[in-house]
Amino acid sequence: MCTVMKFNQSVLQDMSDNNNNDNKVWKWHIQDPASQKLTWNKPPKSVLVIKKIRDASLLQPFKELCIFLTEVKEMIVYVEKKVLEDPAISDDENFGAITEKFCTFRDDLDDISNRVDFIICLGGDGTLLYASSLFQESVPPVMAFHLGSLGFLTPFKFDTYQSQVDQVIEGNAAIVLRSRLKVRVLKDNWEKKARLDEKGIILTNGDTESRRKSVQYQVISEA
């Protein structure tokens, strides 16, 4: 099964669902194959912030970014509930006033596909892939900051995050298209099962093939 999403030199945007675009806050505009630009139908109001779990080095960038988004840009910020369960965040009284403004969700229970205007990832390529997996169909534009070990798909540096976020919100951002491929690997298992012959005699040496899902992968590559 294959789904497609678009993704920028920092911004990722979906192209798999062209229906009901009037309801979307964002759209994509292509001038030529080498020049593609993100534009907004109306100013974005909500953002999903994805942080790599159990990485202490990302705590300060995460807090700094969230303060900027909520206090300065006055945006609705969505954060995974498990991120806020980190004692380094939940026990921080100075940051408590910010977390109270968050909209929280659980990735296995809540559907936020129609609530988020764009996504900001803090981490590496794995964090970006995880963010895309939260959306089964259309994926909002994704801005990925390289704060992890691998950063082939995360071009932004966090040092200038404020100006970079401003450019995305203002619709002044180039995009790079990416294809999201969902791959399931199946392996063949042979099982011996009893069966009846034409005369109703039970035979036990018949082999019947059964397929079982072994592994599932998600891959992002250039469109």
State pLDDT tens for residues 47-79.
Answer: 999 998 888 999 999 999 999 999 999 999 999
Q: How would you class 196 by CB atoms within 10 Å of its CB: exposed for 0-12, middle for 13-18, buried for 19 or more?
A: exposed
State pLDDT tens for residues 190-217.
Answer: 555 555 556 555 555 544 444 455 555 5
Q: 126 and 16: one domain?
A: yes
User: From start to end of 81-176, where are the E strands?
Assistant: 103-105, 118-123, 142-146, 173-174
Q: 148 and 93: one domain?
A: yes
Tokens (6 digits) for 150: 């691998």
What domain range is 195 assigned to? Answer: 183-222
- For the chain, the residue count is 223
- pLDDT tier for residue 37 given thresholds of 50, 70 and 90: confident
Which candidate in 14, 22, 107, 125 is catalytic?
A: 125
Which pLDDT score, from 0 to 100, does residue 206 have? 47
According to DSSP, residue 156 is labeled: B
Tokens (6 digits) for 79: 């954060």
Classify the phi-psi angles of 59: left when phi > 0, otherwise alpha if psi is within -120 to 50, otherwise beta. alpha
Question: Residue 207 catalytic?
Answer: no
State pLDDT tens for residues 123-176.
Answer: 888 888 888 888 877 788 899 888 866 666 777 889 999 999 999 999 888 887
Q: 174 and 189: one domain?
A: no
According to DSSP, residue 127 is labeled: H
Count of domains in the chain? 2
CATH number for position 7: 3.40.50.10330
